[in-house]
Every structure is written in C-alpha cells, then in structure tokens.
C-alpha cells in the first residue's frame, strides 16, 4: 500500500512537471529492467523500482522531461557511448575501467556484496573452503570480476544477469551466488527461496566497494553537475527518504 501510494504521488507530480518543463530539458534515461527492487518491468510493461523513482525525482528537480528505456546490462554502456540515451540510472557501480568511459555522479546509495546459499551446507566462504564449488554471478558485474580474481579454484558460472544466477541457485545448478546484499534481500524473502540465506559475513574489500551512481557521456560534466545538484536537493527535501522507505526497511544511503 505504501509503495502504491507513493507511486501515485510521484506520477501526479511528474505529469505536472512534464507539462511545465517539456521545452527546457529533455532526457532519455536507460535502466536495465531486470534488477528488482531497483529496476524491473511490471505486469503492464512499465519500468519500476528504486532506480526509476530516483531518476524521476532527479528529473523533476532538474526541470527535465524524461523518458525511459530498458537496456540489457551487457549493452548498456555501449548504448550510452553510441548516443542512444543521455543517462544511465541502473545501480551502476564505479570501477576504474568504467570511469574511463563515462562521467559519474555522486553516489545515491551504498551496499555490500554477500554470498547466498544453503547456510546448513556452508559457513566458511574463503576461497580455500569453496574450492571446486559452483559459484554464480551476473556477468560484467563487480561480483563476477571479483570471483574470477579471488576464487580461481572454484567453478565460476557467469549468467546474463543476477536474476538468472538466482534461478540457478534455486534449481540446484550452482552451490552459491555472489551479489549485492540489498538485491539479495528481495530474493531471500521470496517463498521459493526459503531454504537459502546469506552465507558468511558481507564481503568487504577495496575491490568490492559498492556505491551506485548515475552516469552520462564521457565529458558531459555539465549534465552530471545538474544531476549532483538534484541528488543533493532530494536528500534535503525528504523525497529521497520517502523513496527509500517505499522499498527498504532501512536506509541504503
């Protein structure tokens, strides 16, 4: 009910904003659409989720008229470089390689990575303890990069996206998955995941520092400054907290 009410308020607010600001700034925004609760596609075919609501709030603060497009994760940076859209709002973490290709905003949420699986089978998550085991992660994520560097004696299974990795775990085709701990919260709360839980402590190291950012074309510092100002504003006026509380029982900022 809370999420539905908030979405209705946001739609009304942004419809008004679109009519008022249509001639000032028009932006096309890409998100993945396969990373709930941050971004997904609902039964009506609409993009929804935390990332989408944050993007809409940022657009309102920038007095921008924004449209949204779902793009597969493996293609999303390439599409930005090909000028197919102006911004990516898709829980994009900051890496050195990506920073060479895009401009990054300040972070709009932070989280850790964690393993998930059957806690009755696994306690120790060290590379030595997981030797020979099957571990899945979405391809081209910081988690998949970390597994390939640190868990060289495990069988690393790279999937199209994180939901596919979760399905492999449910089907017994992998032993563990490594993913963003907040993303895993929704998966672990589902009835079909009742036998699974977090395994071990959150994985915290310099490589797996996880903060989400909005990204723009490399060199477009002017647009990123507007995004940063808008993110600051929604933190100050309470809109960020309202969006946060509609999805999570704790602050992810």
Q: Does 183 or 103 have the greater pLDDT score? A: 103
Residue 215 neighbours by CB distance under 10 Å: 25
Residue 15 has a pLDDT of 53
58-74 tens-digit pLDDT: 999 999 999 999 999 99
Residue 14 scores a pLDDT above 70:
no
Whole-angstrom CA distances from 81 to 39, 74, 84 are 21, 13, 8
Task: Provide the percentage of residues in the chain whose pLDDT is more than 90.
Answer: 77
Domains and CATH numbers, the chain: 2-110+211-247 (3.40.190.10), 113-203 (3.40.190.10)
What does the alpha-carbon distance between residue 40 and residue 165 come to, in Å, rounded to a whole number?
Answer: 16
What does the alpha-carbon distance between residue 108 and residue 51 come to, in Å, rounded to a whole number?
Answer: 9
Residue 111 has a pLDDT of 85
Region 238-248 average pLDDT: 96
- The Cβ-side half-sphere exposure at 152, using a 13 Å CA radius, reads 2
Task: Provide the percentage of residues in the chain whose pLDDT is more than 70.
Answer: 91
Residue 150 scores a pLDDT above 80:
yes
From the list 163, 173, 166, 175, the residue with the least C-alpha distance to 193 is: 166
Region 233-245 average pLDDT: 97
Residue that is written with structure tokens 């899945």 in the block: 136
From the list 116, 77, 79, the residue with the least C-alpha distance to 93 is: 77
Region 33-43 average pLDDT: 94
Residue 20 has a pLDDT of 46
Residue 104 scores a pLDDT above 80:
yes
Query: What is the reported pTM?
Result: 0.71
Residue 239 scores a pLDDT above 50:
yes
């Amino acid at each position: 009910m809370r999420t539905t009410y908030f979405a209705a308020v946001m739609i009304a607010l942004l419809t008004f904003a679109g009519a008022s600001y249509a001639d000032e700034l028009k932006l096309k925004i890409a998100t993945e659409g396969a990373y709930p609760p941050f971004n997904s596609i609902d039964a009506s075919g609409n993009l929804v989720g935390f990332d989408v609501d944050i993007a809409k709030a940022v657009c309102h603060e920038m007095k921008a008229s924004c449209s949204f497009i779902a793009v597969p994760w493996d293609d999303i940076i390439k599409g930005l470089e090909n000028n197919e859209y102006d911004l990516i709002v898709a829980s994009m973490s900051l890496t050195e390689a990506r920073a060479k290709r895009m401009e990054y905003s300040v972070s709009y949420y932070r989280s850790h990575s964690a393993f998930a699986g059957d806690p009755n089978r696994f306690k120790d998550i060290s590379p030595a303890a997981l030797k020979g085991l099957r571990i899945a992660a979405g391809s081209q994520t910081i988690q998949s990069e970390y597994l390939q560097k640190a868990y060289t004696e495990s069988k690393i299974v790279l999937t199209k996206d994180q939901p596919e990795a979760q399905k492999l775990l449910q089907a017994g085709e992998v032993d563990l998955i490594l993913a963003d701990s907040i993303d895993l919260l929704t998966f672990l709360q589902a009835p079909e995941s009742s036998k699974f839980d977090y395994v071990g402590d959150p994985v915290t190291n310099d490589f797996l520092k996880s903060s989400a950012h909005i990204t723009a074309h490399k060199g477009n510092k002017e647009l990123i400054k507007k995004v940063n100002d808008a993110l600051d504003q929604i933190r100050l006026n309470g809109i960020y907290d309202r969006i946060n509380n509609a999805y999570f029982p704790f602050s992810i900022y």
